[in-house]
Amino acid sequence: MASHAHDHEQCISEALGSAERVCAQRGARLTPLRKRVLELIWESHEAMKAYDLLDRLGQEGGSAKPPTVYRALDFLLAQGLVHRIESENAYVGCRHPERTHEFQLLICDGCRHVEEIAVSGVTEALGKHAKKQGFTVTSQTVEIHGQCPSCRDSA
């Protein structure tokens, strides 16, 4: 896992640039609220819950209501701009929104840092095992909980 210390402003700028390109290519509308929600998600590499986003928007003087934030998150998910962390009912920015891809999430239980990795073949292997059991996979999220190097070293 990469070090937590890096230029978050660059991450945010790159994520917003990718989002604008993806939405333009797909004819999808990246409204100011959707863009701001995405920006808030990218401000750190920690999982963000909808109500955390709502609180942040409220602190900025916004009047967003829960349905508005959930609609923005649904849009960002549909466009592949964020991933939903099922185990925490939270969201994290997608590193490769321009393409459909396999991904797994490394989630630090200490600092809540989330790192997206892409180990090829995981989705296919799990799908094959599910099929052997007669199970039809409709969606799949691989979440790996543990400790990042920073939390492990400080323990």
Q: Where are the domains of the chain?
A: 8-154
38 in Cβ contact with 82 (< 8 Å): yes
Give the residue ranges of the annotated binding site.
108, 111, 148, 151
d(CA 36, CA 33): 5
Question: Is 115:79 a contact under the CB 8 Å cutoff?
Answer: no
- The pTM of this model reads 0.86
- For the domain made up of 8-154, give the CATH fold: Arc Repressor Mutant, subunit A (1.10.10)
Contact by Cβ (8 Å): 80, 94: yes
Going by the annotation, the residues of the binding site for Zn(2+) are 108, 111, 148, 151
Residue 50 amino acid letter: A
Per-residue pLDDT of the chain (155 residues; tens, 9 = 90+): 444 566 778 888 999 999 999 999 999 999 999 999 999 999 987 899 999 999 999 888 877 889 999 999 999 999 999 999 999 999 999 988 988 888 999 999 999 999 999 898 998 999 999 999 999 988 888 999 999 999 999 87
- DSSP letter at 49 equals E
Instruction: Report long-range pairs for 59-66 (Cβ below 8 Å, ≥24 apart).
Output: 62/33, 64/33
